Structure 1
Amino acid sequence: MFSPFKDDRGAPKALADITYADLEQLRDLEEGYVLEFKRSYSPTVAKKIPKIIASFANSSGGWLVIGIADDDRSLCPVPRLGADYSQMIGELCRRHVSPTPRFDVRFVTDPAAPDQGVIVVQVFEGDFPPYVADGVVDVREGSTSGPAVGSALVELYGKATRRRAEIAAFCHRSVFYAASDTPLFNLYMFRMGKRVSDTPTRDTINEHAQTMRAAFRRMGLACRVHHAHDSLIFSVPTRDDPRIPHSAIELFADESMKLSVPAILLTNAERERIVARFAFDDVKADDTERNPPQRATELRIMSSADTLARVTRMASILDRYVRGRTLAWQQYAVAYELENLAGVVLWSEEPSYLDYVRTRGPLFCATTDCLSRVRYLDDGAHDSFRARQFAGSHFFEACGLPLGSPDPTDSALVEALLRSAHGAAKP
């Protein structure tokens, strides 16, 4: 994305790296399609901000700088307020723009006068336009904003449709497992706002790889790195066959990520003990040639504590990577999938689960279509998102325990199963 700020080598500067001295670079720039100046943060300007941000999001993104005169680009520092400008602008957009665009705000302080500075707003190109500000769809028209009409509206809706199709295509596993029926928990993290044309340099890719390796080390896990045609695969090796990972993270050039974690199934002896204890042979199946009866001894039973410990431990690596790269989860769309887990019984020795089984029967994934809906984290409702928490809670959701169930028994069971994963088998 365009940045009006450059470093000593002429490379674009990120918002977090801008200094007060960098504002001098704006003197040579004119307002235009991706840049707008405002002299002060007055009530009139505050009223226009949602429209300006929405127009940038509906176009190619852009920068709004408050504290720069729009006629001669001279510095006109605005006072530092008790309230945070980012919160104030965020609240303006939440009240006046739908859906909420993705943007960042920074107050760049004047080092000679810490009580004043300049507000810099970076607006990203929207993934799901049109963004409507007070009932109007605005787009950039030269150095101003104006209502979108005709073909412009069609193109905005087309962009959103293409983006949804791109995310749907991303949500498919590509990590190799020798057994085609390996039961997997997959977590998809699609980074928004990036385009295929944003090809990183080799140095950037190496930096990504170093950060991911460091995240594995922090979790006490070894990893092997495999270079794919458009990604890096970081896998935790198994002892018996170094070619086959038992858990893996696939990292793409735009920092989208896929997590694949095989479920831990109980051994034959453990399964037989549980089957005998709870008489699963009473479970009946269709008695036809097309659907022959499945006896309980053929059931696949998954360890809740061990599988969840593996899932959350690997998801913690994603959190460490995002923090190490100073990214924000709000840049991601997230979905999960249970693959080859249809009909696999969830098992735990947790007393509350044993009581649950006696009264309601065991939990299991009851559908062959196990891909969740996509959750878009840039809608302002996921400020405390963590991959580890998401993976753990939604793992049980996919096994039949709905999140936010009004039944207190369900909620208590989820909490008990989450606690049981602590100290369980590690990846």
Structure 2
Amino acid sequence: MADQMIIESSNISDGFFGFLSPSISSAHTSSPTPPNPLLSSKPLRNATPPSPTLSSTPPPIPPHYNHPYMQIYVYDLPSKYNSDWLTNERCSNHLFAAEVAIHRALVSSEVRTLDPWEADFFFVPVYVCCNFSTVNGFPAIGHARPLLGSVVELVSSEMPFWNRSQGTDHVFVASHDYGACFHAMEDVAIADGIPELLKKSIILQTFGVKYKHRCQEVENVLIPPYISPLKLQSTLGEVVGATANERDIWVFFRGKMEVNPKNISGRFYSKRVRTDIWRKFNDNPKFYLKRHRFEGYQSEIARSVFCLCPLGWAPWSPRLVESVALGCVPVIIADGIRLPFPTTIRWSEISLTVSESDVGNLDDILEHVAATNLSTIQRNLRDPMKTRALMFNDQLQRGDATWQVLNALSQMLHRSHSYKRRSRSSSQ
């Protein structure tokens, strides 16, 4: 799977959302199917109070958000689909926890409508990455397909909206390695493909590549992995003054690096990229390479000039978000990777991309950057909008990752039954 690092502490961050202000309309009087109490819109169970944010001043409203009155209906599903999983606090804190954070943000936001007949989109909050294996501690997602099949059967039988559109205006989160293919090994993920019942819906997923791939053959919005805003705030507080103007680590990487990679299912971990990095640069004093986990690794990122972000099983990595947030230049080593929110974040201005075949030349490549445009990249990294766009908060904030998702959904309003109805009415 995408290499996991230790991520602890609460994922709750406060904020406000003062731009979107749709009215909450009453129940549709001519509704052919009365709302089912089981699926009524109520606040998320076990909600927790807000806590500090990375920045007290939200960035300007993105100019490309063209539909400020878009409305989303959030299904209130039986607790077995979501809140029951929160008994394990890791569920809302690990790198796949965007499924929880987006749910919480939408429930408490003004973009939410309590009237499904007025909704443009329907959010289906199913947590599929919270079933942690007792063997290795990683998310076990073998239950994902039957769980999603069960929830689609429920919403399609109890309310008319899924059948009305065949799910094209319904939104799911698939934050695991290969998105809605729901498997950590690429060959199996490709063989299994995306479940038929999800192929017409919209998937919010961390997996994305620029080439044809079966696991992204669905309408999708690429999202970043989850990193706790509170944990980052704590790290920034610890390093203020100590490393603000001095980064004593030239090149940093901490994570799984196999000296002799094992061939599993015909694939080498990280396509042997991490092994090659270790073999070539372990003895180079400019490279700070560590193979073991360390709870305070974010403080090491904050001390570093360049942070390596190589692929694991999947191409994406939580290091990308942490590096941007802590001012370390991300060095992306994952051929063909597609990065989140490119209309907001010009990745070429804040990161470096090195091909997998060129990892043996990392020292020369980074020395060249240092001699040419490093200061420009570092200056671009200090723009708070970049960090805000990659962070999920439990309460929606202008410019944050959930806001960026709404931006993307606003470009898909042609899928909205309500939007088509309003357009027809306004043209008459």
Q: Using structure 2 for the length normalisation, give the TM-score.
A: 0.27
Return the index of the structure with the highest Cα Rg. 1
Greater RCO structure (CA 8 Å; 6+ sep)? 2
TM-score after normalising by structure 1: 0.27
**Which structure carries more strand by proportion?**
1
